[in-house]
Chain A
Amino acid sequence: MRKALLPIVIILVTIAILSRLFYLQIIDDTYIKKSENNALKIVYEYPERGYVYDRNGKLLIANQPSYDIMVIPQEVKNIDTLALCKILEIELEEFNNKLQKARVYSPRLPSVFLPQLNKAEYAAFQEKIRHFNGFYIQKRNLRDYQVSVGANVFGYIRQVNEGNIKQNPYYKSGDLIGIQGIEQEYENILRGVKGVKYIQRDRFNREIGSFKDGFYDTLAVKGEDITLTLDIELQEYGELLMQNKRGGIIAIEPKTGEILSLVTAPSYDPGLLVGRERSKNYTNLYRDSISKPLYNRVLSGEYSPGSPFKILTGLIGMQEGVVNEQTRFLCNHGFYYGRGAFMKCHDSGNIALNQAIASSCNTYFAQTYKRVIEKYKNSREGMDHWSEHLKSFGLGQFLGYDLPEGRKGHIPSSDYYDRWYPNGGWRSTTTISNSIGQGEIIMTPIQLANMMATVANRGYYYTPHIIKNIEHDKIDPRFTTKHVTSIDPRHFAPVIQGLHDVYNFGTGRSVQVEGIDICGKTGTVENFTRINGKRYQLADHSVFVAFAPKDNPQIAIAVFIENGVWGARWAAPITSLMIEKYLRKEITRKDLEKRMFEGSLESEYNKVITLQQMADKKTK
């Protein structure tokens, strides 16, 4: 026993040491990270962000140098704080706050102390920087916008926040990241890859050479240039037409799905979100809850499509064989679809499909819709067939375009009505509003434009996209994949004839363009607002969809004007001007153009504010 004590103690201690070593070296991996923080200084080299061009090769977005003052809090020692504050024109208190913030992020790693100095400020600071230990200047590239339009398509770049850093370890404090638009969507392509240099440090933070002879160092890779499908002239023209109005224009080249212009109004100058004023300007834009300039109405606005939807009702009717070119319905200013239930129509007579589209006859489409639903043994099955057709147009789902925002819209299915009417009993007449694009149908403007592109193509579409070319890469194959709808191409002829008639003797005849065969459809969407629970009717939204020319279509377009009253008042003229601009490059109807440029709906928008104020007063 006495002999055994020391050996036992030795064995126990050895086991303790080995277990502890195993824990420290193998199980707990925090020390590896700590060791890197300790001994390695990482210096980044930021590549230039890729340039952006329009479809005609015009440069849209370039770069400009910008200088950030960086700080490594731990190394800030014995400096003349007041002198530094004076050079940078900041208060002592602000200085302390910034330093504290940087220290909280990491005492060892660099943080941005003061971002985005211009050249003059940079020059002033550069002279004196050696007096200020712990501070240095990091050059970065900011965006330099060559145009003042397209902000909602471009998005913007800003410094990463903590969420970005946590989500993707590529980003370090002070890095820039694309937000919204193509800057976000093509961030990985545009940003390139930053270069890294590992420098070995000793405990006094002195640099003692490169780590492992630069084995792990990498060179910066320049961001790739991209070409957009946008026609910047058309875009500029569209934004001009939309001034003082709210809404959007979306134009697509039908045979490719390329987005020619994407205007959402109101918008802002992309240059506002560059430089030291960025944050202030952004806050202003963000806080504008009335006109919402950061909100992309074309992608995210969900509206009842209204009359343009009748095109689809007609197509489905023919595909399902319940109507054909010759089918006529009698319309006497409306249609009784149930006992005492009447759908008004401004039309009358014995009407065929092309006429029904040209004159936007409610009766015709309500009848067609009823026949489609009732063709099947129950309304459930009818409804499901109907919504399958709509889904083949990309409705009720994300279209899959390459911009990082948007909504699905809504196409009701039988399940949807089962939920509303749990005991069954819903029928074609219950849902009759769907036939004319009211009811439960919700679409975004880009879906409307895509619908027109599909009609222009007689039955297929390519997913709308904004990317045309990437410098050293191919664009996503999903943009070159044809989507064929469930409607047979031969059914499109009478519908297109009807759309053409809209211009010849229908609701669009006032905005014909000499020599261009336009096919289009007006729409007027009722809309309401709720103020303190009370429903107010507001001026209708004005909608127009079109494509042109009728044969070999070059452009499909949807124009949407909030509170624009009739389709024919604002949306139709703007559509025709856009088409003329794109196909002819110049405008002959200067007076119409002038009227559209100068037309303002501000007074209409102020009504909502007035209503709100009145309601507020009442409650007081």
Chain B
Amino acid sequence: MINDNLIAVSILDSLNMLAGGLFLLTAFGIVATRQAKGTLTLFITQSLLLAVSAFLLGLRHSSLHLYGVALVNVVAKAILIPWVLRKTVHEEVYTRREIDQVLNIPSSLLISLALVIIAYFLTIPLQQAIAVEFRGPNIPIGFAVLFLGAYTLAVRREAVPLLIGLLAMENGAFFAGISLARTLPLLVELAIATDGLIIVFITGVLIRAVHQHIGTTEVGAMARLKERTTDEALEETGQ
């Protein structure tokens, strides 16, 4: 009986690891995929994997609460967020391809790898500080995805991949969270999910406004606001 249990637990653990590994890969994909739509698909996959991981941890620790988290994630991130994005952002924006990023893709991928390794080393002391039952692969992976999302925001310029990068960061935080803060009230989880929807809505409206008024979807490349001295300002205005 105990033996059975142990095997079940070890299988659940490796499945959770697997979900984590794929979760990490989707983050790499978000860094590297050229198609704006591709990043959206990757994000949906990523959110589903997050839900899978929450579900598996729920099974593992027999916590009803984590099932709720999984459900909330599936509904909010895999269904509602893409829907809201499609509603707010013009078709043309999210079917775009990004031809050139700030860095080329292989170097981006290498930097991302370095970030993951950094995330791993950063989390070693944390893992030791927390109780054994909260430890797990979720924490380094969550940190890594947080970093990769931030990196996406730094190197990409197209609107939709940038938004996806933001959401991926939040996914990363959550991925660590389902292991760290397992008993967070469900009300809070719901509120955070709603918050994600509002993010997409507001950012979508913003992207649409940029597209309408400036005619670009490369929001990351806008650079009109910068520090100038008064002399430069004078030159610019020609007075």
Do chains A and B interact in one complex?
A: no
- Residues of chain A having any CB pair with chain B under 8 Å: none
